[in-house]
Chains A and B, each alone.
Chain A
């Protein structure tokens, strides 16, 4: 066909433009000419002009003024103009444009044209941009064409019918009988179109599935014919006869057989034949057909032998040199890893090797599949691989890897120490990419493994010493140092070589964190709190701590400033109590404190509370220097939501009042429930229970039997000074305390609340605890 000279000249002119501005100039001039020529009624070069306009449109410039010209050209009797006109319609018009309705009539006329190429143009355009109304109008025409004698038209009509069915599902009924007839055709193009049409009909209308179920034997027959029969040069692709048709057949059989449970013997037969003939795995096309067959087998309810065969083929794909094949193998395995877990496990080695592939897509798939394959039996080896992957993986996969590792570690950790080691490793390599909830989770994990505190704090200290840029790691490390700093300073640790760490070293590190520009505000908060906690654990550098803390009293960050100010106040007011408390008591208190700073980080205040508590105590006994029990209740800088109204309840986020009481109380020996306060419908009962040989827990239950709500309920308890011999116990987050004490016999409760508008405050002393054993 002779090329369009004016078009080519224009293209040349546009391409020779050196700058964007020049190009725009050329295009504007051309468009002006085109517009002028469109306005002229009769023009020889109409098709050239429209072609030029379409080129301009492809470059991205506006070309909507050509729409009417398209409509006019489609109506022209000349084939060349029709051709370009229809092309223009497909490019410039779509179903949302109003102008598209104008061509409906032209299409209708052209569908009835004697020339098959004109008909095909119309069919093509209808399939490309036909709107629902157009489809409804023209559906009968298409149906007629489906039964025409010309196979060229039939195949186009079939795909056009597919478009119509996709747009207007109800018209599927119209095409069903014609589609059935098409299956008997010899022409591959028509067959292909027929299969697509039947697939579409089955997908949108489940009833037609029944009707087409009977076609399955026919389909299998055709497949067999394709696979076994001789060489057909027309349709051959690298030795496979008509792979496109084969694949299509597979798809439709998959569709029919998943929905309807017919026996699949024929399918098995075809499948084995296909496997035998398509084993040339160097060519993509053979693999394409194999792949489709494998997918079909795995989707339908085939017997297990067949499934294993399919999975083995996928395994073979995994070993293929071609990255594409490996990629799709992994995608397919991902789909079945839930159901055929063991079968996929066999290929774990290859999949893990794919983690080291250069290609980003392959890596991603390998990662997802590896995470799905982690199980209790292979956790150690898999984790090694995953951790080495983490250190070298592309940045966009890091976050996914880290969270995958965490989930796997949590589920299958063989030992606590391994779990902590793994998490620490992740934090040191990819700390910046982990999610926020990792920090509290890790803190909880560390708390729960009491025997590893020494080890953990040493490890974290070393990690912190090396690198203070990874925020989650720094936060956890600060918390740990604050909490277990005494273990760190003691120096000995069974599990690691001892390193002498002085108080100055520790404070240096914490100060570095505080001052580093890489630390986020919440990290600084952690560090400040840790410094404060250390003030009770170290002996020599309290002044240094005090100076560090007081600096932040004038920090810009409100949160830090508030904390610093409160800590300073603690220093001033309650210094005398600093060393009077048992370690355990302190650990308990500051643990409560830090849980909230870690998890919720509300501003730490609560001095009204503390004062109240001290008053409570002060009223009955003189405060003594060495008062361990005192230490256990005050100072209690517990986080509240900032309200002063005795909201210990808020403090614990809505836990039962019973739990709150256990926070504040020392544990007594086992006693049955006894009522300690009963007035106006408000009762408080006390019960103790023995939890273990060295621990007891006490529960205070407050109940309201009045008709109205009780507001602002506060229950504070204090115990007088008592000699406590503490054992090294850690208190869980749920704040059920378990200490072992020697005899404590008294408890004073202050209960205050508002009931029916009037405030009530009472103090009750509990002297006897029935059932007190020792």
Chain B
């Protein structure tokens, strides 16, 4: 996988993950092209496109959010659809009945989830449960730190 983009129907980018090094300008061009191509497709059409030398797989979820992945030639398109689906499931599990607003207001968490699932364009963990567990533990670690930071203050207040 070369890149993974999430954008809304209005053309606002919600998440971008690049698995190959590109300059800012190139990235912007790719985003523009993807939005143009994908948003122009009618409903119920095929989820696969050809763009330059990449295969583009896209899927629409939550009525207005598009998930778009750019694949290389040897990648399996059907499996990529499954990857997108799995990511949505992970988001759903984490946020509990996720919707687009969740992803907007908690974008850094969407990234964290993605980083537990994909790396270097490949799947990192094939088990939903394992991903969920590691996310929870990382969050606990973060909160533990936050609590510790507050402790001196609360001790003082008491």
Which residues of A line the B interface, CB within 8 A?
1-4, 7-8, 11, 15, 44, 51, 54-55, 58-60, 78-80, 83-84, 87, 90, 94-96, 115, 117, 120, 123-124, 127-129, 152, 155-156, 159-160, 162-163, 166, 188-189, 192-193, 196, 234-235, 237, 242-245, 247, 251, 284-285, 287-288, 291-292, 295, 323-328, 358-362, 364
Tell me the bound Cα distance from A76 to B126 in angstroms: 32
**Smallest CB gap from B134: residue in A:** A152
A-B contacts, 20 of them at CB < 8 A, read A4-B108, A54-B107, A60-B13, A60-B28, A80-B142, A155-B124, A160-B120, A163-B120, A189-B126, A192-B125, A234-B127, A234-B130, A237-B82, A244-B79, A244-B82, A288-B79, A288-B82, A323-B47, A324-B78, A360-B45
Tell me the bound Cα distance from A428 to B24 in angstroms: 48
Chain A's nearest CB lies how many Å from the CB of B127? Answer: 4
**Smallest CB gap from B78: residue in A:** A288
**Smallest CB gap from A287: residue in B:** B78
Tell me the bound Cα distance from A129 to B27 in angstroms: 15
Q: Is the CB of B23 within 8 A of A124?
A: no
**Which single member of A79, A166, A284, A360 contacts B145 (CB below 8 Å)?**
A79
Q: Is the CB of B16 within 8 A of A291?
A: no
- B contact residues around A287 at 8 Å (CB): 78
Tell me the bound Cα distance from A166 to B143 in angstroms: 36
**Smallest CB gap from B137: residue in A:** A117
Q: Is the CB of B108 within 8 A of A87?
A: yes
**Smallest CB gap from A117: residue in B:** B138
Q: Is the CB of B13 within 8 A of A87?
A: no
**Smallest CB gap from B47: residue in A:** A324
Tell me the bound Cα distance from A105 to B77 in angstroms: 38
Q: Is the CB of A159 within 8 A of B79?
A: no
**Which single member of B47, B79, B108, B145 contacts A247 (CB below 8 Å)?**
B79
- A contact residues around B93 at 8 Å (CB): none
**Which single member of A96, A244, A288, A362 contacts B123 (CB below 8 Å)?**
A244
Counting CB contacts under 8 A, is B33 at the interface?
A: no
Q: Is the CB of A362 within 8 A of B46?
A: yes
Tell me the bound Cα distance from A1 to B14 in angstroms: 20
Interface string of B54-93 (1 = CB under 8 A from A): 0000000000000000000010111101110010000000
Q: Is the CB of B76 within 8 A of A292?
A: yes
Which residues of B line the A interface, CB within 8 A?
12-16, 19, 21-23, 28, 42, 44-50, 74, 76-79, 81-83, 86, 104-109, 111-112, 115, 119-120, 122-130, 134, 137-139, 141-143, 145-146, 149
Q: Is the CB of B76 within 8 A of A361?
A: no
Tell me the bound Cα distance from A229 to B13 in angstroms: 43
The list of the 9 closest CB pairs from A to B, nearest first, reads: A288-B78, A1-B139, A234-B127, A323-B46, A159-B119, A361-B46, A189-B125, A359-B45, A288-B79
Tell me the bound Cα distance from A594 to B82 in angstroms: 62
Q: Is the CB of A288 within 8 A of B50?
A: no
Q: Is the CB of B124 within 8 A of A324?
A: no
Tell me the bound Cα distance from A243 to B79 in angstroms: 8
Q: Is the CB of A2 within 8 A of B77?
A: no
Q: Is the CB of B21 within 8 A of A94?
A: yes
Tell me the bound Cα distance from A87 to B138 in angstroms: 14
- A contact residues around B139 at 8 Å (CB): 1
Residue among A54, A80, A237, A292 with the highest chain B CB neighbour number at 10 A: A80
- A contact residues around B48 at 8 Å (CB): 324, 327-328, 361
- B contact residues around A295 at 8 Å (CB): 76
Q: Is the CB of B21 within 8 A of A96?
A: yes
- B contact residues around A242 at 8 Å (CB): 126
Q: Is the CB of A192 within 8 A of B123?
A: yes
- A contact residues around B119 at 8 Å (CB): 123-124, 127-128, 156, 159-160, 163
Chain B's nearest CB lies how many Å from the CB of A52? Answer: 10
Tell me the bound Cα distance from A257 to B51 in angstroms: 30
Q: Is the CB of A361 within 8 A of B122?
A: no
Tell me the bound Cα distance from A235 to B137 in angstroms: 20
- A contact residues around B86 at 8 Å (CB): 237
Chain A's nearest CB lies how many Å from the CB of B16? Answer: 7
**Smallest CB gap from B148: residue in A:** A78
- A contact residues around B83 at 8 Å (CB): 244
Residue among B21, B28, B120, B138 with the highest chain A CB neighbour number at 10 A: B120
Q: Is the CB of B21 within 8 A of A327?
A: no
- B contact residues around A358 at 8 Å (CB): 42, 45
- A contact residues around B16 at 8 Å (CB): 58
- B contact residues around A123 at 8 Å (CB): 119
Chain B's nearest CB lies how many Å from the CB of A25? Answer: 18
**Smallest CB gap from A78: residue in B:** B145
Tell me the bound Cα distance from A359 to B14 in angstroms: 28
Q: Is the CB of A87 within 8 A of B105?
A: no
Tell me the bound Cα distance from A244 to B13 in angstroms: 28
**Which single member of B22, B74, B78, B125 contacts A284 (CB below 8 Å)?**
B78
Q: Is the CB of B78 within 8 A of A291?
A: yes
- B contact residues around A292 at 8 Å (CB): 76, 79
Q: Is the CB of B77 within 8 A of A124?
A: no
Tell me the bound Cα distance from A245 to B83 in angstroms: 12
Tell me the bound Cα distance from A79 to B145 in angstroms: 7
Tell me the bound Cα distance from A117 to B141 in angstroms: 9
Tell me the bound Cα distance from A191 to B90 in angstroms: 21
Chain A's nearest CB lies how many Å from the CB of B88? Answer: 13
Q: Is the CB of A244 within 8 A of B46?
A: no
- A contact residues around B50 at 8 Å (CB): 361, 364
Q: Is the CB of A80 within 8 A of B105?
A: no
- B contact residues around A84 at 8 Å (CB): 108
**Smallest CB gap from A92: residue in B:** B24
**Which single member of A51, A128, A188 contacts B108 (CB below 8 Å)?**
A51
Chain B's nearest CB lies how many Å from the CB of A39? Answer: 22
Tell me the bound Cα distance from A87 to B82 in angstroms: 25
Tell me the bound Cα distance from A161 to B105 in angstroms: 33
**Smallest CB gap from B40: residue in A:** A360
Q: Given the interface contacts A96-B21, A189-B127, does A1 sit within 8 Å of B105 by beta carbon?
A: no
- B contact residues around A243 at 8 Å (CB): 79, 82
- B contact residues around A188 at 8 Å (CB): 125-127
Q: Given the interface contacts A83-B112, A242-B126, A247-B79, does A327 sit within 8 Å of B142 by beta carbon?
A: no
Tell me the bound Cα distance from A27 to B45 in angstroms: 38
- A contact residues around B74 at 8 Å (CB): 251
Tell me the bound Cα distance from A561 to B48 in angstroms: 53
Q: Is the CB of A83 within 8 A of B79?
A: no
Q: Is the CB of A361 within 8 A of B142?
A: no
**Which single member of A2, A60, A362 contacts B143 (CB below 8 Å)?**
A2
- B contact residues around A362 at 8 Å (CB): 46
**Which single member of B81, B122, B142 contacts A324 (CB below 8 Å)?**
B81
Q: Is the CB of B105 within 8 A of A3?
A: yes
- B contact residues around A234 at 8 Å (CB): 127-130
**Which single member of A4, A193, A285 contacts B124 (CB below 8 Å)?**
A193
**Smallest CB gap from B115: residue in A:** A124
Tell me the bound Cα distance from A125 to B130 in angstroms: 20
Q: Is the CB of A95 within 8 A of B21?
A: yes
Q: Is the CB of B104 within 8 A of A11?
A: yes
Chain B's nearest CB lies how many Å from the CB of A181? Answer: 19
**Which single member of B45, B82, B109 contacts A1 (CB below 8 Å)?**
B109
Q: Given the interface contacts A3-B105, A11-B105, A291-B78, does A245 sit within 8 Å of B45 by beta carbon?
A: no
Chain B's nearest CB lies how many Å from the CB of A42? Answer: 13
**Smallest CB gap from A233: residue in B:** B129
- B contact residues around A245 at 8 Å (CB): 126
**Smallest CB gap from A286: residue in B:** B78
Given pairs A94-B22, A117-B134, 6 additional interface contacts (CB within 8 A)? A1-B139, A7-B108, A96-B23, A162-B120, A235-B127, A361-B48
**Smallest CB gap from A50: residue in B:** B108
Tell me the bound Cα distance from A359 to B149 in angstroms: 57
Chain B's nearest CB lies how many Å from the CB of A307? Answer: 19
Q: Given the interface contacts A54-B108, A234-B129, A361-B50, does A189 sit within 8 Å of B124 by beta carbon?
A: yes
- B contact residues around A59 at 8 Å (CB): 12-13
- A contact residues around B82 at 8 Å (CB): 237, 243-244, 284-285, 288
Q: Is the CB of A359 within 8 A of B46?
A: yes
- B contact residues around A251 at 8 Å (CB): 74, 76
- A contact residues around B107 at 8 Å (CB): 54-55, 58
